[in-house]
Structures are given as C-alpha cells and as structure tokens.
C-alpha cells in the first residue's frame, strides 16, 4: 500500500500511462489470487471477481441485483428468496427491504441443539418462484459452520442460485467454491483475509451476471462513448474509481494466505481445541445446559458448541449476572483485552439463543475472536482474565448476601 501511494498513485483504467497500467495490473493480479484462494470454477476468468466496498455491499449487489433483474424482465412475477436464522444483518436487512416491496422471503431456522440449519429445510422451502438461497458459511455468534455443500447441492438440483457469505470463514478455513456448489461467493477484504477495511467483493459464476442487475452506474474508463452501463465484466458492476490502494494491500494479504494458509488454519485449529478444553476444565457450559458445574468459569455459558469440530474461532459468552458490556469493559480496562459485546448484527440468531429479549445492557453476549496473530499465551491470558472477573463478581455477591 505504501508502494502504491508513493510510486504509482494513479487511477487504474483511466489512462494509458505507465502508472495507470501498473495500477490496473495490480488489481487484475488480486482477482487472479482470489480465484486461486477460493478455487472458483472460472479461475481462468478473473473478471468474475467483482470488487465492492465490503461484504455488505457485495451481498446487496447479489440479493437486490437478482430481484431487480427479475422485476425488470418479468414484471408481476412472484419472487421468493430464502435465508437462515443465523444470517447477519447484511443479509437480513436487504431481504426485509425487498420484502417491503413485495418479495417473498423464507427464513430457515437453526436447530436448538446444534445451532445448524437442516439442509432439507432449505429443500422444503424452495418453490418454483425461488430466485436465490443465501446463507452465511459460519455464524458470527456461535462459530458454527453451516452445511453449505449440502445446501449448494440442493440448490444446484433445483436450478436456484446459491449465495454463500464467507465473511467469518474466509481465511480461517479452506473455502473451495467448487466443493461447496457455490454460484455466488461474498467475501470481505479484512477479517480472515487480512486485508484493509473498505475492500471486499463477490465472485459470480459465469453466465449468472445476466440475471443480476447493477445497483450503481457510472464511469468505467471503457465504452466512454456511450451513456449506458457496459454489460461486460467486471465493468458492469464496478463504476467509478477503485479503492486501488486498498486492493493492492488485499492482494498481498491473499498472497500471504496462499503461501502460509495451511499453517494459519492449523494454528487456529490448535487455538480452538485449547480454548474448548480450558473452558470445560474451568466449568463453562453451553447455553441451555442446566447441569451443575464447578470452577472459576461456572457462571459463564457459551453461545455455541463446546467442542472443537465444525466451528470457527468465534466464542460468545453470557454471564449469570454480569452484562456483556460490563464484561467487555472489565476486560479492556483491567487487562487490556479487546472483545465485542452486544447482538453482533445477528438479531435472529440471538433471538434463537434467548439472548435478545433483555434490557440493552444485558442483551446479546460477549464475543472473543481468534485469528492468526493470537498466540496460545494470549488465549490463556484471556481465559485467566475472564476467570478473575467471574471470581471477583462471585466474591462480591457472597459478601452482599452475608451482609443482607
């Protein structure tokens, strides 16, 4: 990014001088690297990677673009879409907006014991009017990996496009678009892909772009002699100047993952396994588990599975008496550890977990996120800090009880 700012600094695709050509080459290189990372079927067609502002922008393009195209080409036709209870607001809100305009919407529930959807529920929800199935690959609340390959196979047989949101899984686990039967793959530049904020995109399987209307139009540096948006990719969906400096940074991050991805995945698996063992040893239990437990974390409940398989490194907790915000404040102020409290833009997932209907300070949970630069020592220190906070609260509660 520093090299781009100091040695290139030009807008790609807007001129034929060397700096502009080099900017365009770097953007094309990033597309090619993303194709390799996600093993998309059209790896020889990197223009199927469309850059957006972030994953939310990518999801809006796919969801609203498909609805808009149908409304334009088949006015009066019923349009139906399917999502899941585990989805993020970047899916739920666009679908709610479309629902207000007449698009039908089915939200498939998660099972109360596994926090996974049943792929057959998706099959049962598909109708002749279904235009899209969208789901997140891994929950940003429970960490549970959803059965994407099974859902993708069902969609493939039904002829329904399948959009997978890999905001939480990309870079943390292997993403193989072909094995997952994916037609559209929305991804962030930051988070597990290790790039800068303000980057992201969507891969579109070849041919599907004819069924997705653009949400924005503008200059592309190509076909400048006409005042309608080009139909060819990537220009159809990329009006205006790119965040070239951000994409340059994302490209190097993707190259890092291509080189070191196996080691990164193995490291995070080790972190997850250690976290689960230490939570169990210290008395933490899953939400809904009413069994008695001992240990410094006995007052904590995990929103998600207390096992290492089938999950990513997202661990969200509720405490018997302390609200998520108070827990987060104590971690930051007393131990210098950063965590996110709240509903995590996943209200339907928290509703299913029973953590939404509470006063604002008690609503949701406290989320810890593991990543490639978190060490085993960092993890141990964090769990020790949680134990210290829980012990302190328990001691204060005991004193108050004796005083009363």
pLDDT along the chain (404 residues), means of 10: 95 92 96 97 92 98 98 94 98 98 97 94 98 98 98 98 98 97 98 97 97 96 94 96 97 98 97 98 93 92 96 97 96 97 97 91 94 97 97 63 47
What integer pLDDT is reported at residue 400 of this predicted model? 45
Quote the CA–CA distance of 379 and 274 in Å, as a whole number. Answer: 8
Axis crossing angle, helix 18-38 with helix 244-281, rounded to the nearest 10 = 30
In the chain, where does the domain assigned CATH 3.90.1150.10 lie? Answer: 261-403
Residue 388 tokens, joined = 């210290």
Percentages (nearest 5) of helix, strand, coil residues in the chain: 45, 15, 40
Give the span between the Cα atoms of 290 and 184, in whole angstroms.
41
Q: Quickly name the fold that domain 261-403 has.
A: 3.90.1150
Specify the pairing of strand 49-52 against strand 200-204.
antiparallel
CATH of domain 2-256: 3.40.640.10
- Give the pLDDT confidence score for residue 404 in this predicted structure: 53
pLDDT for residue 402: 44
Task: Look at residue 361 in the predicted model and tell me its pLDDT.
Answer: 78
| Distance in angstroms (rounded) separating the CA atoms of residues 56 and 123 | 26
Provide the b/e sequence for 294-320 (b: ≥16 CB within 10 Å): ebbbbbbbbbbbbebeebbbbbbbbbe
Q: Which segments of the chain belong to CATH 3.40.640.10?
A: 2-256
**Rounded Cα distance, 179 and 198, in Å:** 28
Q: What is the pLDDT of residues 153-194, one digit of tens each?
A: 999 999 999 999 999 999 999 999 999 999 999 999 999 999
Cα dihedral sign, 245-248-252-255? positive
pLDDT for position 292:
84
- In three-state form (DSSP H/G/I as H, E/B as E, the rest C), the secondary structure along 123-155 is HHHCCCCEEEEEEECECCCCCEECCHHHHHHHH
Round to whole Å and give the CA distance between 265 and 174. Answer: 8
């Amino acid at each position: 990014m520093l090299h781009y700012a100091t040695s290139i600094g030009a807008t790609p695709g807007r001129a034929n001088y060397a700096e502009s050509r080099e900017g365009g080459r770097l953007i094309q290189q990033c597309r090619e690297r993303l194709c390799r990372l996600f093993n998309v079927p059209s790896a020889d067609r990197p223009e199927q990677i469309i850059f957006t502002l972030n994953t939310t922008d990518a999801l809006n393009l796919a969801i609203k673009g498909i609805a808009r195209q149908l409304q334009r080409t088949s006015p009066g036709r019923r349009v139906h879409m399917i999502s899941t209870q585990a989805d993020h607001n970047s899916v739920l809100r666009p679908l709610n907006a479309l629902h207000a305009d007449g698009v039908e919407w089915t939200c498939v529930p998660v099972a109360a014991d596994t926090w996974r959807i049943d792929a057959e529920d998706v099959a049962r929800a598909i109708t002749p009017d279904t235009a899209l199935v969208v789901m997140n690959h891994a929950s940003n609340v429970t960490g549970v990996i959803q059965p994407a390959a099974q859902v993708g196979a069902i969609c493939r047989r039904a002829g329904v496009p399948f959009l997978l949101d890999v905001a939480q899984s990309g870079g943390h686990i292997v993403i193989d678009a072909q094995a997952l039967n994916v037609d559209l793959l929305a991804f962030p530049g930051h988070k597990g892909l290790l790039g800068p904020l303000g980057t992201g995109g969507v891969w579109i399987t070849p041919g599907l772009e004819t069924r997705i209307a653009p949400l924005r139009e503008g200059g592309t540096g190509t076909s400048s002699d006409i005042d309608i948006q080009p139909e060819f990719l990537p220009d159809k969906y990329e009006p205006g100047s790119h965040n070239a400096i951000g994409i340059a940074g994302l490209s190097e991050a993707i190259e890092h993952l291509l080189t070191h991805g196996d080691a990164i995945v193995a490291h995070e698996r080790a972190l997850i396994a250690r976290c689960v063992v230490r939570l169990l040893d210290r008395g933490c239990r899953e939400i809904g588990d009413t069994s008695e437990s001992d240990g410094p974390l006995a007052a904590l409940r995990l929103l998600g599975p207390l096992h290492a398989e089938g999950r990513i490194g997202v661990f969200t907790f509720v405490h018997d008496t302390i609200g998520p915000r108070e827990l987060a404040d104590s971690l930051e102020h007393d131990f210098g550890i950063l965590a996110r409290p709240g509903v995590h833009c996943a209200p339907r997932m928290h509703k299913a977990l029973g953590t939404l209907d509470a006063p604002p300070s008690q609503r949701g949970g406290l989320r810890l996120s593991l990543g490639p630069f978190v060490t085993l020592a960092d993890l141990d220190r964090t769990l020790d800090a949680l134990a210290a906070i829980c012990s302190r609260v328990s001691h204060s509660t005991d004193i108050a009880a004796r005083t009363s």
